[in-house]
Amino acid sequence: ELDANLAAAQREATSAFGDGRVLVEKHLPAVRHIEVQVMADAHGNVIHLWERDCSAQRRHQKVIEEAPAPGLPEDLRLRMCEAAVKAARQVGYVGAGTVEFLVPVSLDGFYFIEMNTRLQVEHPVTELITGLDLVALQLRVASGEELGLVQENIPLDGHAIEARLYAEDPAQGFRPQTGEITQLRVPQANGLRFDGGVREGDSITAYYDAMIGKLIAHGPSREAARARLARAIGETQVTGLATNLGFLARLLGDPGFVEARVDTQFIDRSLDDLNAPLKPPLAVLGVAALAMEKRFSAPASPSPFHHLRGFALWGSDAQTIRLRLGSESVAVLLEEKDVGFSVTQAGETLNFSLLRVEPPHAWIETEGRVLHLDYHDDGEAFVVTLEGDRYHFSREKSAGVEESASGNRSIVSPVPGLLAKLIAPEGGEVQAGDIVAVVEAMKTEFALKAEAEGTVTFLAREGAQVKEGEVIAEIGAGDG
């Protein structure tokens, strides 16, 4: 994969810096990403505000950050902090900055990566353990004031963990999502903070990062902060588009994370478990079954002709509905009651009623709770989003129906973004699995691969802005 990755790195470097040269560095196979927050003024004063552990990453983008770094030996912590202060002082740095290191999981040293000369997304965890306002410090330094802080007096109080709430679909390779945020509800409690850049009714577009906000929890210990954040994630509601809320909940509860056994490859290694096909709640199965029977609408009439229930001389009037969830077949028993419906699957039954349906939103009541779902129905598939997790249903195919062996011959963009590179030549031959084009969205490149062999015909130009689902190219059947 070297050639393709080298070309991608050169494109990004050329675009960002006008210089496509690359460096070859020592490979460190198992490392943690630990960074030190520094602050310096124009009077020669430089201090550190302890370190943060940002090892929980996907696509080399941070997902969870915490301070201080769990399990870090005190002598190593002090050596790293001193090295960061020395680096900032040596270059005459002024302002807030972050000196980033890679630390082998063996904890036998540390390696410099880079210095970010700005305030970073994860600065709230540092604020919560030090009690300092980093933005206020930046403004004071920028106006020429002295820091007025002494290193020995910088506190380290408890533990803080931050989770980045993204509009993305983790089950689809963390694909960025666009659309309107129809509901945004974040719990408020002591030890909990939310930094958001959008409000209910705002839209996430393809032109900016897909982060909705940051949930940060502080506690006297790491476990107290983790438990508080996990509880807040479970109580947060975002509707209108898919988010990583469910993924964050599973990540925070993963035994490896609970025990602080996290390196930069942790999420990649655990991805199958973190993104394992979720068992849909019975409420979701009931809604999907109603949708497949074309009965998904709020009750508008008491007329018996608007009900599923019919006259039968004997037996139950319940219907068995077969759904496909991804590659799995799910059979549910749906029965209309005097009030609402019941859904049964694998021996479990849930009674629920439809309160209101206003596409793409629906409200159902079950067991004394009101659930707000989002859905999309295109006639063939039905997608339900509940509490951040998205479930893709389709009607089970009849026996004897087979997929075409030739594969999909349309190459479509999975996200709205920039068509950064056409890899295959126009009119050239490709094989199944060959990369045809590259789409760039929100600092991430998506390689579009051919699913069949044949001749390439491009329908979009390199450098064009493309929409999600837009056909980029067609693969014509070969001569063979």
As annotated, the active-site residues are: 118
**Residue 177 vs residues 159, 203, 344: alpha-carbon distances, Å:** 32, 10, 32
| Cα R_g (the chain), whole angstroms | 26
Both tokens of residue 342?
């019941």
Token duo for residue 236: 């947060």
On whether the CB atoms of residues 148 and 208 are closer than 8 A, the answer is no
φ/ψ region of 134 (left if φ > 0, alpha if ψ in -120 to 50, else beta) reads: alpha
Show contacts of 317-321: CB within 8 Å, 24+ apart. 318/344, 319/293, 321/289, 321/292, 321/293
Residue matched to tokens 């909940």 = 249
Of the candidates 153, 150, 155, 138, the residue with the CA atom closest to the CA atom of residue 41: 138
Strand ranges, E, within 295-397: 319-325, 328-336, 341-345, 348-358, 361-366, 369-377, 381-386, 389-395
Q: Which of 125, 294, 133 is nearest to 216 (CA)?
A: 125
CA 95 to chain centre: 31
Peptide bond just before 299 cis, omega within 30 deg: no
Q: Count Cα neighbours of 468 within 13 Å in the Cβ-side half-sphere.
A: 12
Give the single-character DSSP code of 172.
Answer: G
CA nearest to 206, candidates 470, 476, 391, 479: 470
Strand boundaries in 177-327, DSSP class E: 179-180, 183-185, 192-196, 203-204, 211-219, 237-239, 319-325
Q: In whole angstroms, what is the distance from residue 128 CA to residue 177 CA?
A: 30
Give the separation between CA 373 and CA 240, rounded to whole angstroms.
9
Non-local (6+) Cβ contacts of 285 within 8 A are: 323, 330, 332, 343, 345
According to DSSP, the β-strands at 328-336 and 341-345 are antiparallel
* Nearest by Cα to 195 from 151, 175, 230, 165: 165
Token digits of residue 314: 């004997």
